[in-house]
Each structure stands twice: as structure tokens, then as C-alpha cells.
Amino acid sequence: MTEHAAPRWAFLTNHARALICIARDPGARLREIGERVGITERAAHRIVAELLAAGYITRTRDGRRNRYTVNADLPLPDPIARDQNVGDLLTLLATTDPPPLRTESAAAGAPASGSSALRASTPAIRR
């Protein structure tokens, strides 16, 4: 792999990506979720149905549209990360202001420049 080539794999599953899309835009259509995640609308429908069935999101009708709410208190469905909940993941990945980068000075105990508390701008997350 060259120095600037992107890997052909990803850290997040399509389920996690869809959940992040829903947290950022609770009124997103399945077509929009599919486009953002890079999957078909049919695959987005299947993933949203699985997230609903597992209780990670709830759906309410808003006229002819659906609105989703993320249930942030549920544990992550991962054997390594069971001690973390969905809200922890979304705080990291679904905020509009990303967390400050960890620099070597921050690792040595000095505060990172420009560091601020994470602000969750995801009103559709229920704790």
C-alpha cells in the first residue's frame, strides 16, 4: 500500500455507519442513509430493520416520513466493547465538532491546544 492510498477496509460496519447517519439526521430517508453509507436503499432498509428489532433505534411517524431516535444506553454489540454503550460511540463519531487530536504534548500530560468538551449535537439520542 502506498503512503497516501486509502485502505480497502473500514473500522466501522455498515450498521454503525447507518446508526451514525440516523443520529446526525433523525429524519433521514432510507435512500439518503444508503447513499451516505455507500449501500443500496434495500440494504439500508434491512440494516434499519435490524437496528429497530434489536432496540438500538425507535421509529415514529411524522406525517408521511419516519423519524428515528437512538437508544443510547444500550451496550455495544461487540464482545470487546461491551462495557461501552451506543451513546459513547456516537459522542465520539456523530458530533459536529470532532474531538481534539491527541498530540504528543497531550500524551505527555500537557493539555491539547484548542481542546474543548465534546458537544453532542445529536438531539435524537435518548439516554
Q: What pTM does this model have?
A: 0.71
pLDDT value, residue 4: 76
Residue 19 confidence (pLDDT) above 80: yes
Q: Which CATH number fits domain 14-126: 3.40.50.970, 1.10.260.40, 1.10.10.10, 1.10.287.3510?
A: 1.10.10.10
Residue type for position 103: T
Average confidence (pLDDT) over 86-102: 74
Ranges of each domain in the chain: 14-126
Q: What percent of the chain has pLDDT over 90?
A: 55
Q: For 53-61, which contacts have Cβ atoms below 8 Å and span 24 or more sequence positions?
A: 56/19, 56/86, 57/19, 57/22, 58/126
Confidence of residue 124 (pLDDT cuts 50, 70, 90): low
